Chains A and B, each alone.
Chain A
Amino acid sequence: QVSAALKEGRVTPTELCQRCLALIKSTKFLNAYITVTEETALKLAEESEERYKRGQPLGILDGIPIAVKDNFNTAGIETTCASKMLRGYISPYNATVVQKILDQGAVLLGKTNLDEFAMGSGSTDGVFGPVRNPWSYSKQYKEKSVPKSHSEDKESDWVITGGSSGGSAAAVSSFTCFAALGSDTGGSTRNPAAHCGVVGLKPTYGLISRHGLIPLVNSMDVPGILTRCVDDAAVLLGSLAGHDPKDSTTIQDDFKPFELPNLTDVSKLSIGIPKEYNAPGLSSEVLALWSKAADLFKNAGAKVVEVSLPHTRYSIVCYHVLCTAEVASNMARFDGLEYGHRSDVKDSTESMYAATRREGFNDVVRGRILSGNYFLLKQNYEKYFVKAQKVRRLIANDFMKVFRSGVDILLTPTTLSDAAPYTEFIQEDNRTRSAQDDILTQAANMAGLPAINVPTALSERGLPVGLQFIGRSFQEKQLLTVAKWFEKQVQFPVIQLEEVKRHDNGVFQHQKSASFS
């Protein structure tokens, strides 16, 4: 809708950009952005405006403000991964996905906050501080909050965004941008999408280039897409997917961008409900919503079957071993020599490296590196690493069996419950939390399958709850079509942010609640 408005001249790219920048400033307390590229954004908006004036926009994305998670390289802009290790690091190049959106004329607003090096499920462990969920400040949440006495700090009950792409999710959810890029290794795009009430798409591994995405787990990382509606996600997917010679893990098949059909007849669809996803700790609310959704499909004529993915409960253990092992390897590049933080220790190369890494990494990262090294020791290699790789195959096979039996899409919850208050979340350490929160999203990364979170309803506390659809490899069109149908059925409410009302303006108000496609 915004794109149409830009084309018709009802609003100009610079106006749009300025509104977003102003909104970013007024929502600074959310801590969603690490770097706001104000000058660059305005320049890009001006260039876009020129193109619209000439009647030659580059495409749907021309002039659309987009935010990018801070673990994607952006030329000339600081890329920190929310870590001391990369503070001051100015990327010399654009990640392929960043280049692609810029080539389409998108206006890059800034880099969003995350957990340090994308390790975590709360966006609370970055060096720039935690990200706050915009819903903490929504009318819906405040209405349901137990009234507190005046002496208690009103600020203390804000809830987390989920992670690790929390900044991106918060940015999209609070209307400061129309789409954001995240990354997904264990659920890092879908988890915050569920908590912030936005659409979070994890594409099939190999569909979108990882060139320029600072790697966590090479065999599972994918760039993720966060938007306010499924159609927007499809548009963004269309711009980003495709083979990249710079990333040899992208498949060579031709990718054709698609528009999503408006599905009306779901009778030919077979939806699978994996029983193991009724995991311990799943809140009764989420369980009820999941059942309701299954019924929704059934009543509309679709075939809804219970299926089994027997190795689900080992997925998180498997992930834990494989992730730490790959992290141990991937983090080895940070030695202070070519880029990033460098310690002042000069006695020897090794001692300089050790000191640099001691100073630059936080507990979470160091913990994973050490665990990874342990699992990769000669005496442990077979026992842990190879064993985990075997279990990975079993998990992937589970999915293959289910899809081969005729099921088209799997429907599962995305998170165990709605977003937790920050003070409660930090009571447990990062690893425990990740193990708990990734349990529903992780397996899709193991098997490389596409998955999407669709915001479904508000919880009793007034916070978003989302449901997840998992599809067959490279069948994003089918996945998104079903997701779009579901989105239309549930009519998830728009967030009512009090601060946002101040910037009310007829035209912009209409755009705020809408998508850009």
Chain B
Amino acid sequence: QKLSVEMLDHLERLALVDFRDSEGVERLQKAIQFADQLHEVNTDGVEPMDSVLEDRCLYLREDDVTEGNCAKELLENARETVEEYFVAPPGNIPLEKLEGRKTYLQGS
């Protein structure tokens, strides 16, 4: 099945990365085709495995503050900061619809 433009657009929005060109889209198609081989395996009655350490107890420590106070170091790596804040462009503005975006998908 060929993937619809709506689906590709949806993925671009979710992932916030772009397909860039037809190769990108083809890459996904091939990936899905490759993954479809999974359906050949009979997994009736099999529980999904999240971790190979599932038989062990997770390590939990006391809820005490043991480190921190490193705001200065953390801010150093950011490009735009103001005092102890990371500065972001205005939020609550969804990514433009397909028509408005500069994306390969527009052409398809």
Where the two chains meet, the residues of A that have a C-beta atom closer than 8 Å to any C-beta of B are: 89-90, 92, 205-206, 219, 243, 245, 248-252, 311, 314, 317-318, 320-321, 324, 328, 335-340, 342, 345-354, 357-358, 361, 363, 366-367, 369-375, 377, 383-384, 386-394, 396, 429, 431, 435, 447-448, 473
Also in contact, A248 and B77, with CB within 8 A (given A206-B53, A370-B15): no
Also in contact, A338 and B74, with CB within 8 A (given A370-B17, A389-B49): yes
Whether the pair A387, B90 counts as a contact (CB closer than 8 A) is: no
Whether the pair B31, A391 counts as a contact (CB closer than 8 A) is: no
Also in contact, A348 and B89, with CB within 8 A (given A370-B28, A391-B41, A448-B52): yes
Interface of A is mostly: helix
Seed contacts A370-B11, A431-B31; 18 additional CB < 8 Å A-B pairs: A92-B77, A245-B59, A249-B51, A314-B40, A321-B35, A335-B16, A347-B93, A348-B89, A354-B16, A358-B20, A366-B15, A366-B18, A367-B24, A387-B39, A390-B43, A391-B38, A447-B52, A448-B52
Q: How many angstroms from the CA of A416 to the CA of B64 in the assembled complex? A: 50
User: Chain A contacts of B40 at CB under 8 A?
Assistant: 314
Q: How many angstroms from the CA of A83 to the CA of B15 in the assembled complex? A: 18
User: Chain B contacts of A350 at CB under 8 A?
Assistant: 16, 91, 93-95
Q: Which of B15, B20, B51, B59 contacts A363 (CB 8 A)?
A: B20
Interface residues of B in 50-81 (CB under 8 A from A): 50-53, 56-61, 70, 73-74, 76-80
- In this assembly, does B14 line the interface, its C-beta being within 8 Å of a C-beta of chain A? yes
Whether the pair A384, B90 counts as a contact (CB closer than 8 A) is: no
How many residues of B are in contact with the other chain, CB < 8 A?
56
* Distance between B66 CB and nearest chain A CB, rounded to angstroms: 9
Also in contact, A431 and B27, with CB within 8 A (given A317-B38, A358-B18, A366-B20): yes
Q: How many angstroms from the CA of A378 to the CA of B95 in the assembled complex? A: 21
Interface of B is mostly: loop
Q: Which of A251, A324, A389 contacts B48 (CB 8 A)?
A: A389
18 A-B pairs in the complex with CB atoms less than 8 angstroms apart: A205-B53, A314-B40, A320-B31, A324-B31, A337-B86, A342-B78, A348-B95, A357-B15, A357-B16, A357-B17, A363-B24, A367-B28, A370-B27, A372-B15, A374-B31, A391-B41, A393-B47, A394-B41
Whether the pair A338, B90 counts as a contact (CB closer than 8 A) is: no
Q: How many angstroms from the CA of A339 to the CA of B75 in the assembled complex? A: 8
* Distance between B59 CB and nearest chain A CB, rounded to angstroms: 5
Whether the pair A250, B24 counts as a contact (CB closer than 8 A) is: no
Whether the pair A349, B48 counts as a contact (CB closer than 8 A) is: no
User: Chain B contacts of A342 at CB under 8 A?
Assistant: 78-80
Q: How many angstroms from the CA of A417 to the CA of B76 in the assembled complex? A: 46
Whether the pair B79, A336 counts as a contact (CB closer than 8 A) is: yes
| Chain A residue nearest to B86 in the complex (CB) | A337
Whether the pair A391, B16 counts as a contact (CB closer than 8 A) is: no
User: Chain B contacts of A435 at CB under 8 A?
Assistant: 34
Q: How many angstroms from the CA of A390 to the CA of B46 in the assembled complex? A: 6
* Distance between B48 CB and nearest chain A CB, rounded to angstroms: 3
User: Chain B contacts of A391 at CB under 8 A?
Assistant: 38, 41, 43
User: Chain B contacts of A370 at CB under 8 A?
Assistant: 11-12, 15, 17, 19, 24, 27-28
Q: How many angstroms from the CA of A339 to the CA of B12 in the assembled complex? A: 22
Q: How many angstroms from the CA of A335 to the CA of B91 in the assembled complex? A: 13
Q: How many angstroms from the CA of A158 to the CA of B38 in the assembled complex? A: 37
User: Chain B contacts of A324 at CB under 8 A?
Assistant: 31
Whether the pair B49, A340 counts as a contact (CB closer than 8 A) is: no
- In this assembly, does B32 line the interface, its C-beta being within 8 Å of a C-beta of chain A? yes
Q: How many angstroms from the CA of A352 to the CA of B49 in the assembled complex? A: 36
Whether the pair B28, A371 counts as a contact (CB closer than 8 A) is: yes
- In this assembly, does B88 line the interface, its C-beta being within 8 Å of a C-beta of chain A? yes
Whether the pair B38, A393 counts as a contact (CB closer than 8 A) is: no
Whether the pair B11, A351 counts as a contact (CB closer than 8 A) is: no
- In this assembly, does B22 line the interface, its C-beta being within 8 Å of a C-beta of chain A? no
Q: How many angstroms from the CA of A49 to the CA of B58 in the assembled complex? A: 42
Whether the pair A396, B41 counts as a contact (CB closer than 8 A) is: no
Q: How many angstroms from the CA of A314 to the CA of B94 in the assembled complex? A: 39
Whether the pair A321, B38 counts as a contact (CB closer than 8 A) is: yes
* Distance between B91 CB and nearest chain A CB, rounded to angstroms: 4
Whether the pair B11, A375 counts as a contact (CB closer than 8 A) is: no
